[in-house]
Structure 1
Amino acid sequence: MTGSPPEDRPGPGIIGRRLVQFFLDEMLVFVPMLLLAVLVIVLFHPSGLVSLLPFLKVVVYTMLALDLVGLWFVTTWWPYRHGGQTPAMRWLRLRVVMLDGSHPSLRLFLVRQVLMLIDGFAWGLAGVVVMLCTRRRQRFGDVVARTVVVRVSKRSPADSPVDSMDEAAFPGPDGYLGAVAGPELALGRADVRLDGGQRNHE
């Protein structure tokens, strides 16, 4: 899907939305993994402190591994298959697009996620600083992947079924204008001739 290029400088409010979105996506993966780990410990914990400590280590490391897999799924595969939006991005009306407005490839979503190792430094402070310093509020992963996060406009039930355009992009053809008129011009029961007269329908 190709759209229009995003605006040069989104407002700083989008940074706050992105932080909330990142936290929600993290919780969407972490909370189920934590509940699963607690359930495994309660049901299968061995008796005795000597056996319990190695068991807890195995559970914790397994939970962290599953959490990484789940986070990759939510932040990489899911937006690639769902129009550039993670679940939390959909809730907060955000979307990842290329600088030309097109949809990023799976490789670019993977690049963005891998570079979270840099953006997440100091509890995410590095990414916030980069977003404040870049013109399009991009974190380092966005700069490398040539992507940008934009806000998605609201859509009422009366709007076109076509996906709504982003606020940071120019509206595409027929994005909100409804159906385009057909090439025929209704003239009642008569057609206009080139010589200025009228010819009745047969």
Structure 2
Amino acid sequence: MTRPGLGVVGRRLVQFLLDELLVFVPTLLLAIAVIWLFHPHGPGLLTFLEVVVYTMLALDFVGLVFVTVWWPYRHGGQTPAMRWLRLRIQTLEGAHPSLGAFIVRDLLMLVDGFAWGLAGTVVMLVTRRRQRFGDVVARTVVVHVSRSADQAAVPGPDGDFGAVAGAELALDRADVGLDRRQ
């Protein structure tokens, strides 16, 4: 197969921002509500604001781990934004990644996120499969999935956010061990 186009990099950047907003906005609204309802008057205000900010950061961290590790592990390799943008995480062999692979990907976001995400973007642009460093180490790839005819655009009332069939995997015969000429 040919090298994936640059469009998948753009989709991944938009997906990352959407997932971040999905966690950050409710956390920020909760912090604003707590400050508005419970703010003390006087010398304890600065300490109160520090506690709210640190609590907000901790909740944001837990929310991001939930959205980037647990959610895709339990929902076919897709975060909520990946589902909206028809992307999916899978192993190089096309299987569903293990929980450990999702954790490795998330931990290495520290490397990929260097310089406001520039490091991860550059790595995606230069790797053959458009992988960021976390994907390379975890042996995963993000693929574009086509919407099948029997899949609704919006999940049904049962809340099924499962995987989408028909991935377009950017592997050639040598990558999956079918080509013995090497």
TM range (shorter): 0.7 to 0.9
Structure 2 equivalent of residue 141 of structure 1: 134
Number of aligned residues: 161
Residue by residue, what CA displacement relative to the aligned partner does 1:3-60 show, whole Å, maximum 9, x if unpaired?
xxxx562111100000000000000000000000000000000011x21001000000
One-letter identity of the residue aligned with 1:88: A
Question: Identity across aligned pairs (percent)?
Answer: 71
Within-5 A mapping of 1:131-170 = 131-157=124-150, 163-168=164-169
Query: Does residue 30 in structure 1 map to residue 31 in structure 2?
Result: no
TM-score by length of 1: 0.76
Structure 2 equivalent of residue 98 of structure 1: 91
Structure 2 equivalent of residue 116 of structure 1: 109
Asked if the contact 2:69/2:103 (under 8 Å) is kept, the reply is yes
Q: CA RMSD in A?
A: 1.8
One-letter identity of the residue aligned with 1:78: W
1:168 Cα deviation from its structure 2 partner = 2.6
Structure 2 equivalent of residue 16 of structure 1: 10
Query: Does residue 70 in structure 1 map to residue 71 in structure 2?
Result: no
Larger Rg, first or second structure (1 or 2) = 1
Residue by residue, what CA displacement relative to the aligned partner does 1:92-132 show, whole Å, maximum 9, x if unpaired?
00000000001100011000000000000000000000011
Structure 1 unaligned segments of length 5 or more: list them: 1-6, 171-202
- For 1:65 and 1:36, the matched residues in 2 are separated by 13
Residue by residue, what CA displacement relative to the aligned partner does 1:125-152 show, whole Å, maximum 9, x if unpaired?
0000001110000000000000000000
Structure 2 unaligned segments of length 5 or more: list them: 153-162, 172-182
- For 1:77 and 1:169, the matched residues in 2 are separated by 25
TM-score by length of 2: 0.84
